[in-house]
Each structure stands twice: as C-alpha cells, then as structure tokens.
Homo-oligomer: A and B are copies of this chain.
C-alpha cells in the first residue's frame, strides 16, 4: 500500500529565506527526515485519491492543561500530540494523508524542540503519515496544535448506527487516569499505566478493519467512555446502554477509572452483534469487547452494574479546566 499512498503527496520541500527563525525550522525539518514533505510553501499541496472524501480534524495539547512537564519526556509529548490527533482519523475509518503542526513555544522549551520533533516523527512513522507544514510562535505555555488530514471512500461517522446495534470498545481502559492520579499524588505511576498516557496508539488499521466488517458508527475516547458514549447516543438519537461489569479494565485500575477517565484514544464502535471479535483480536493482538447495546429512546447513556442501574457522571470540561 505504501507506494500508492505516498503518491498522494505532490510537493517537495521549498527553500526558505535567511534568519534564525528559519534556521530553527530547517533544523526541525531535517529531524523529520523523510517524514517532512511539501514544507516551506504558503500552504501544503496534496492530492486526495479520486473518489475518496477528505477528512480533517484539529486537536491541541497544552502544557498544564493536558500534561505537566515533569510527567513525561519531550519526545513523548511530541508523540502523544501527534497520536492523539491521529486518533480522530481512526474514528472516521480513514487513511492518514498528513499533518500540519502549530507550535506555541515558551523560551524554557526552546532547547527541547528537537526532541519534541523526534517524537512527532516517531508517531508519523507509526501511522505512516507525513508532516506537510506548520507554524511556530513564541508563547507563554507550550502548545502543540495538530491538524490531521486523511481520506477514505466511506467515512465511519458518529451517526449511522441503528437501535439494536451492539457497542464495542477496543483495548483496556483506565491506564491514563491511573497514571495522572499517581503523578498528582507525587508518586511514580505503574509503567503500563504511564505508557498508556505517554504513548497512545491511534487505532487506524483497527478502525478500517471494523468499518469493513460492518461497524456502523464510531467515536474515539478522548473525554471518557461515558461522555463519549453520550456523543454517540446524541448523534444517533438513541439510548446507549452498557454493562459496567463488561468494561475491560487495565490491571490495577477500577471500573470508575475506566468509564470516567479520558484521553484513552481507544475506539467505541457500534456494529452488528455477530461482529467477529475473535478474528479482530487475533489480527491485531488487541482486545475488542462487547459492552452493551444501542436502543430506541431519548439520547442518553444508561450504565448498569451487576444488573442494577448506576449513575456515572461523565467527562472533563476542556474549557473551564
């Protein structure tokens, strides 16, 4: 596939003029190596494969709002920003085309810009994607705003599901929440919790497999399982009913961590009851768990625990946080 996919990119890098700002850009582009393409014009130029639609999304990672500097390495910050943004392409069942990266850079972060860029490059390699352009500004807090562009013949949307569809979730949840809780207590998180926060994995190939095997609708878990199920319920005008007992929880976490914590970048999928979970799991080495169903009714999320309805408040407010 990769020969076909790189043909969608049409522009080589363009030489930039003199000056220290552009020396910085040149050094970052060098670090991106073959993952940087079409950089240096007023805009990136790319070709969307004929017949496909373009899908586009933007996501921001901001110091002290989404992470503390002491928690993870600069390289992990770059990796995480890129992978989290790419997760929105996964939720659409799309192939990545490329990314645009806008950096807000405080003076105290300038020395590690190269390491952040290495992490961006690593995430681009993992997703077989490219850096197509960007923007740099001085700022008082580090921010990495990543625009992802992708393509697909038939996007998998949040809407598109029907009453009677089953609800599935990829992977195991609760790791990022446990890691953040440990850091906030001044402790060192378990390595496998930390990894889920520092190196999220956009489920790109998994989502395309699921779309090809009958998934009707998807959303990635950024706000938290219950909050994001709320979006899926609203988009479809249906009740999302899940059994908390079934939710896959990472070793050392609780069901509460798994349903309320965000930034998982796993996928919630609606699809047929007979989805081939075993084939998925053996193909990707990743769990796929049926956690409930979509039913007719006013859009809301209903959670049961050992057969009884429980109240689970959902999510994180990104605006007032």
Contact = CB atoms under 8 A, between A and B. Distances in A.
B40 A235 contact: yes
A57 B40 contact: no
A89 B44 CA distance: 10
Nearest to A89: B43
Interface residues of A, number: 85
Interface in A1-28: 10-11, 14-21, 24
A47 to B, nearest CB: 5
Contacts of A43: 55-57, 88-89, 91-92, 94, 148, 150, 155
B148 A145 contact: no
Contact of A40 (B19, B149, B158): B158
A274 B19 CA distance: 33
A72 interface: no
B235 A15 contact: yes
A321 interface: yes
A15 to B, nearest CB: 4
Contact of A15 (B135, B141, B299): B299
A105 B319 contact: yes
A124 interface: no
Interface in A83-114: 88-89, 91-92, 94, 100-102, 104-105, 107, 110
Interface string A279-321: 0000000000000000000010000000000000011011111
Contacts of A277: none
Interface string A52-70: 0111111110101110000
Interface string A242-261: 00000000000000000000
Contacts of A135: 58-60, 145
A159 interface: yes
Contacts of A59: 102, 135
Given A55-B45, A88-B43, A91-B43, A319 B21 contact: yes
16 contacts: A17-B231, A21-B318, A24-B319, A40-B235, A42-B91, A43-B88, A43-B94, A45-B92, A48-B54, A58-B147, A60-B102, A60-B104, A60-B137, A62-B104, A66-B137, A136-B318
**Interface pairs A-B: 9 shortest CB-CB:** A17-B230, A43-B57, A42-B91, A17-B231, A15-B234, A43-B55, A58-B100, A147-B147, A145-B145
